[in-house]
Amino acid sequence: MADNSAIEWTEATWNPVTGCDRISPGCAHCYARTFAERWRGVPGHAYEQGFDLRLWPERIDQPLRWKRPRQIFVNSMSDLFHPDVPDEFIAEVFATMVEADQHVFQILTKRPERLLELADELPWPPHVWMGVSIENRRFVNRADLLREVPASIRFISAEPLLGPLEGLDLTDIHWLIAGGESGAGHRPIREEWVLDLRDRCESSDVAFFFKQWGGFRPKSNGRLLEGREWNAMPAPSEEALV
């Protein structure tokens, strides 16, 4: 059975890797770390090791058993391109995605440098989407590295959005997700930051998805922007429709 997801832009999650390390400001209040650390030291629990990185080879073939097509967020509880994930394991994950072509796989990383190092050695079928997380203008160069990856759909997750993304180049980007931070100590998001991204997406023909304003709970302040929801998804490439 698939791990159904409450994340608005996907339908299920698949975690062949769990655990990660903080790498930039967007990680400060990581929901995955908070969840995993609750279970540290509980014998037999999947997060007995807390948020320490762990490979789960027994989960590699899970999507092959999920017959109903769905959108799957890969490693919602980790980063596939973490430096401690072996190249061979990443290749196995990609091999499963290639075979499970009834699904769409959505991968996000904050480590595009390693992604780019491996990109030419990995298969990029149309149903494997690749994205980077960008939380403020210091990291807009992640989009420049993503642009060099031969994925048919490239996307940006600007969540939690912690500042304006000045200098972000949307050339050859197909989708942008924006959202505010949630949980204890959440940092504020400003409407003008979101509107700027919305307007730039519209002028660049990039699908725009506004996930939430955030707050103590993810839905605390809803997800309406200028009175409506923004739920655009990228159109599949012509190759994907063959």
Q: For residues 5 and 101, what is the distance between their CA atoms, to the nearest angstrom? A: 20
Round the average pLDDT of the chain to a whole number and report it.
Answer: 95
CA–CA gap between residue 163 and residue 134 (Å, rounded):
10
Number of domains in the chain: 1
Q: Is the pLDDT of residue 203 over 90?
A: yes
Distance CA 33, CA 19 (A): 7
> What CA–CA distances, in Å, run from 187 to 14, 112, 145, 162?
28, 25, 27, 7
Alpha helices in 15-137 (DSSP H): 31-37, 62-65, 87-99, 112-119
Residue 237: what pLDDT?
55
**pLDDT of 5:** 87
Confidence at 99, pLDDT banded by 50, 70, 90:
very high
CA-wise closest residue to 158 among 193, 107, 127: 193
Report, as an integer, the average pLDDT of 44-66: 97
Mean pLDDT throughout 232-241? 67
The pTM assigned to this predicted structure is: 0.94
pLDDT at position 235 is: 84
**3-class DSSP state of 107:** strand
Which tokens belong to 126?
């149309």
Domain membership of residue 64 as a residue range? 3-241
